[in-house]
């Protein structure tokens, strides 16, 4: 699925510090607080394995942000706690619950069964009010917002082309691709998703210039620098955070609002989320946009509400918030789309991962973040993690979840 390795950032820190020497006059006065050498260096080191347990909890102190406001009508989740103590198998090891949480680098774990919180654990200084950055879990939220805009009529069809909403992408790698192609990660754009932070891969170059140095926006790169890849749109799965960033910019253009505003109005408030969420931005206040590909921070409980809403067919807090047909279309793999390719383990529908031979599906993010939804057992599991490596342990976590599900289903 997502490939890459973690690189030493020491050399890169010096490189991005040079970006802070650009003239400040081009920025609004309130922007300069995000452009000091200290702030640029902090963003460059956000993945440091010794400290990411902490940085992932405090991204609003390192990035410009936009708030997704919650409302006053909170969706109450009753607590009916169940002990899940016991032995767990992680690879070839058998460990107790606390050791399993430590071994899988858990910051938080919330388990919902039959609409009730049956287990909740917060670690490493976090609590129920902590808003965790959960990286590509955000992609499933962006997909949902696209579905809501489609239901509103702001987006006419998923088969509309990207250039219909973003004419500035004409002549770029996105010309010819449809919204549906992007939802499926089959845009055909030349993109290599390799997590080598501090290196010079395509993804990390955009990350470094956009999220760290605040030189340009993700969608600016899509419009001005992206190129067609070797495959036509709609043909081959190629996981691309850039695709989701473009989906977010299509959403903005279609609804005439920021993503955060639309999300608050159409999702966060109607669903009865308990706490304001926020998006980290790919630039300072006056020019930044929500980092749609991986920038949403929310509490574990609110992530659980989102997962439970999908488990309930789009119903949250007693209301049909997301159309039931969208929930099915977005999460049930179409024929030929699971797995994503020969030799791959998982499928991918509309920015949701799916699992062959089961009706389970999940939002998953870098450094092993999860909203895991298992309709067969009526369970939602949310896990916020801080692993030292960005990828490579999805199967381990999913096996852990299956063992938890077995305990809460006894």
Residue 130 CA to residue 300 CA, distance in Å, equals 8
User: 254-297, pLDDT tens digit by residue?
Assistant: 999 999 999 999 999 999 999 999 999 999 999 999 999 999 99
User: 126-171, pLDDT tens digit by residue?
Assistant: 999 999 999 999 999 999 999 999 999 999 999 999 999 999 999 9
Q: Greatest CA separation found in the chain?
A: 64
pTM of the model: 0.94
Specify whether the CB–CB gap between 348 and 354 falls below 8 A.
Answer: yes
Read off the DSSP letter of residue 287: T
Q: State yes or no: pLDDT of 25 exceeds 50.
A: no
**pLDDT, greater one: 275 or 197:** 275
pLDDT band with cut points at 50, 70 and 90 for residue 15: very low
Residue 292 CA to residue 259 CA, distance in Å, equals 8
Specify whether the CB–CB gap between 389 and 364 falls below 8 A.
Answer: no
pLDDT band with cut points at 50, 70 and 90 for residue 197: confident
Q: How far is CA 197 from the centre of its chain?
A: 18
User: 205-239, pLDDT tens digit by residue?
Assistant: 999 999 999 999 999 999 999 999 999 999 999 99
Residue ranges and CATH numbers for the domains of the chain are 54-136+259-409 (3.40.710.10), 155-255 (1.20.58.710)
Q: Do the strands 296-298 and 132-133 form a parallel or antiparallel pair, or are they unpaired?
A: antiparallel
pLDDT band with cut points at 50, 70 and 90 for residue 10: very low
Q: State yes or no: pLDDT of 12 exceeds 80.
A: no
Residue 245 CA to residue 218 CA, distance in Å, equals 7
Residue 363 CA to residue 349 CA, distance in Å, equals 11
C-alpha distances in Å from residue 270, one per residue of 6, 264, 314, 343: 39, 8, 11, 41
């Amino acid at each position: 699925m997502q490939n890459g390795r973690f690189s030493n950032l020491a050399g890169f820190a010096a490189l991005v510090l040079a970006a802070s020497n650009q003239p400040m006059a081009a920025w609004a006065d309130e922007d300069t607080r995000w452009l000091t050498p200290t702030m640029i260096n902090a963003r460059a080191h956000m993945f440091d394995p010794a400290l990411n347990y902490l940085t992932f909890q405090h991204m609003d102190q390192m990035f410009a942000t936009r708030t997704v406001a919650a409302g006053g009508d909170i969706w109450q989740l009753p607590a009916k706690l169940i002990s899940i103590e016991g032995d767990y198998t992680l690879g070839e090891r058998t460990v107790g619950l606390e050791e399993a949480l430590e071994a899988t680098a858990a910051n938080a774990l919330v388990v919902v069964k039959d609409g009730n919180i049956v287990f909740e654990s917060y670690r490493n200084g976090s609590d129920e009010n902590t808003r965790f950055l959960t990286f590509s879990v955000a992609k499933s939220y962006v997909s949902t917002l696209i579905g809501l805009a489609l239901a509103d009529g702001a987006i006419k069809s998923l088969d509309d082309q990207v250039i219909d909403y973003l004419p500035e992408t004409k002549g770029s790698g996105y010309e010819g691709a449809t919204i549906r192609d992007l939802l499926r990660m089959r845009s055909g754009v030349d993109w290599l998703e390799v997590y080598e932070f501090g290196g010079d891969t395509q993804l990390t170059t955009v990350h470094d210039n956009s999220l760290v140095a605040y030189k340009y926006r993700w969608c600016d790169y899509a419009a001005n620098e992206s190129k067609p890849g070797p495959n036509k749109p709609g043909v081959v799965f190629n996981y691309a955070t850039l695709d989701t960033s473009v989906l977010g910019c299509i959403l903005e253009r279609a609804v005439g609002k920021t993503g955060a505003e639309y999300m608050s109005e159409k999702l966060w408030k109607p669903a009865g989320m308990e706490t304001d969420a926020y998006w980290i931005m790919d630039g300072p206040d006056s020019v930044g946009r929500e980092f749609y590909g991986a920038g949403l921070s929310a509490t574990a409980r609110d992530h659980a509400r989102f997962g439970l809403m999908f488990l309930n067919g789009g119903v949250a807090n007693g209301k049909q918030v997301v159309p039931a047909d969208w929930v099915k279309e977005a999460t049930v793999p179409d024929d030929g789309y699971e797995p994503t390719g020969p030799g791959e383990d998982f499928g991918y529908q509309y920015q949701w991962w799916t699992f062959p031979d089961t009706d389970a599906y999940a939002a998953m993010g870098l450094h092993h973040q999860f909203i895991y939804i298992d309709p067969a057992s009526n369970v939602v599991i949310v896990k916020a993690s801080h692993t030292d490596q960005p990828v490579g342990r999805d199967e381990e976590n999913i096996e852990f979840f299956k063992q938890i599900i077995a305990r809460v289903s006894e």
